[in-house]
Amino acid sequence: MRKWGRYSDFMLDFDAHYEALRRRDATADGLVFVAVKTTGVYCRPVCPARTPLARNVVFYRSAAAAEHAGFRPCLRCRPETAPFCPAWKGTRTTVERALSLIEDGELDRGSVESLAERLGVGPRHLARLFARHLDASPLQVAQSRRVQRAKRLLDAGDLPIAAVAERSGFSSARRMSTAFTRLYGRPPSAFRRKAAVLPIGTR
């Protein structure tokens, strides 16, 4: 079984992606996300669900890109728990620094322009880097991370919805509710641990 040592080895090869999916290759986890056109769900390559037919599959380089294309996260393999962009870990690149700042909430407090200024690049150049390496914009990545943080908080405790929204980086509970409804088709309250058991996300 081939091991994917470099992101560039893997990012544009459909056959390699599909083979990794078929094998449940853990070394591809976080490098690629698989979306299934017939279900509208996207997963990690290690998802235990039945492997879909190749003609029904689309691969994305980030969870944010899959969500921007209209796919919702699988409730079985939880793509939000995939390694966050491991292609950039341990490297000193503009993209890695930007991702770290976004993870720390930089775009919850400021703008893409201020993020780019901190990185010493222009906002257009930063947008081009994200499009090239992640197929998503900085704002799309930030929104994906907010939803994922909120989902973990909802699952872990009984914080009021407004407090979850604030801690997750949303400007209001209403914006958080809109983001969840758009992505999952259900409100944040449906993800409470004590709520009714959610159906398993399948392909």
Catalytic site positions: 43, 47, 74, 77
Strand partners, 72: 41
Strand partners, 60: 33
169: region left, alpha or beta (phi > 0 left; psi from -120 to 50 alpha): left
CA distance 159 to 48: 31
Sign of CA dihedral 17, 77, 164, 66: positive
CA distance 191 to 193: 6
**DSSP string spanning 84-150?**
S-GGGTT---HHHHHHHHHHTTHHHHS-HHHHHHHHTS-HHHHHHHHHHHHSS-HHHHHHHHHHHHH
Calculate the alpha carbon distances from 102 to 46, 56, 95, 140, 175 in Å: 26, 32, 10, 11, 18
